[in-house]
Amino acid sequence: MDKNEFGRIIKQRRDILNITQRDLSAISGVTLRKLIDIENGLANPTLQTLVKLMDALGLSLEVKVKS
């Protein structure tokens, strides 16, 4: 998944839950600036940031290992 796709998923889920960027920032502990950059495809989240956002949005993270 690239950073643009991830940003779209975060924004779509946030819209479904009817919460603002500011709300998600407060819930997740991710700074508002970082969240805005992620949603706009301007930043790649660290694994820690990814986990925080996914938890706050009620989503799960699946990791697939290629062999």
Instruction: Give domain status of residue 49, yes or no.
Output: yes
Instruction: Give domain status of residue 18, yes or no.
Output: yes
| Per-residue pLDDT reduced to its tens digit, 11-66 | 999 999 999 999 999 999 999 999 999 999 999 899 899 999 999 999 987 777 88
Does residue 3 carry a pLDDT above 90?
A: no
Dihedral sign for Cα 25, 28, 45, 55, please. negative
Alpha-carbon distances of 20 from 31, 32, 54, 57, 62, rounded to whole Å: 13, 10, 15, 12, 25
Orientation of helix 21-28 relative to helix 47-57, angle to 10°: 110
Question: For the whole model, what pTM was predicted?
Answer: 0.86
Instruction: Give domain status of residue 32, yes or no.
Output: yes
Number of domains in the chain: 1
Residue 46 token pair: 């660290």
Phi/psi-derived region of residue 45, left when phi > 0, alpha when psi is between -120 and 50, beta in every other case? beta
The CATH number for 26's domain is 1.10.260.40
